[in-house]
Amino acid sequence: MQLLIDRIRKEGKVLPGDIIKVDGFLNHRVDTALLSQLADEFAKYFPIDKITMVLTAEASGIALATICAQKYGVPMLFAKKAKSDNIEGGLYQSDVFSYTYKKKVTYIISQEWLHENDHVLIIDDFMAKGNAMQGLVDLVQAAGATLEGIGVAVEKGFQQGGDRFRELGVPYKALAVIDRVDGSELIFRED
């Protein structure tokens, strides 16, 4: 999606460790108009009429997932990284290694909110190695729900996370794929 690529080129920064910083518009300070356009773009690739739930992980994917869910007329559910006192009953949980935080985290979702009759679209801001995304997929599978697709705003293609899901045949769409980092320059994949 050229609009997103242009925005990343203009405002994004490369930090040590090939961290791509886009927190001025995507995942800290949020440009809701841009996220609305991203939601419209995802709607071109996924069977929105079949979706009953948009799922993401706490915390940086919440803004994009919320806008997508609102546009598609369905609830948004996010996997928490810690159990709180307000979660009752059974839980689905998945342990993942967080590339961003460099540690293991446990994603949890109350069984009250995800069921076998749900058709789930996973939406997130970033895809790196795919560990966090696999954790979300595991939660969908634990619930017996149907995974309708995975949409990410930005994929770090050089870390192969997106390739894992493409190879598995999962309906998958990344709106901007960074093939490599050359110093401070980002090289994007052509569609």
Domains and CATH numbers, the chain: 2-188 (3.40.50.2020)
Residue with the larger pLDDT of the pair 179 and 17: 179
pLDDT tens digits along 46-57: 999 999 999 999
Q: Which of 179, 108, 165, 158 is nearest to 131 (CA)?
A: 165
- Over residues 53-82, mean pLDDT: 95
- Over residues 46-75, mean pLDDT: 97
Confidence of residue 68 (pLDDT cuts 50, 70, 90): very high
SS3 141: helix
pLDDT tens digits along 130-148: 999 999 999 999 999 999 9
- Let me know: does 136 contact 114? Beta carbons within 8 Å: no
Instruction: Give the C-alpha separation, 149 to 147, whole Å.
Output: 6
What is the pLDDT of the chain when averaged over all its residues? Answer: 93
User: Looking at residue 86, what is its pLDDT?
Assistant: 60
pLDDT tens digits along 151-167: 999 999 999 999 999 99
User: Looking at residue 160, what is its pLDDT?
Assistant: 94
- CA dihedral sign, ordered 77, 79, 85, 91: positive
* Residue 101 scores a pLDDT above 80: no
What 8-state DSSP symbol labels residue 190?
P
* Residue 190 scores a pLDDT above 90: no
Instruction: Give the C-alpha separation, 188 to 132, whole Å.
Output: 22
Residue 72's contacts (CB-CB under 8 Å, 6 or more residues apart) are 39, 43, 48, 51, 54, 121
Q: Which of 131, 176, 173, 135 is nearest to 156 (CA)?
A: 176
How far CA 27 is from CA of 40, 51, 65, 126, in Å, comes to 18, 24, 11, 9
- Let me know: does 168 contact 139? Beta carbons within 8 Å: no
User: Looking at residue 122, what is its pLDDT?
Assistant: 98
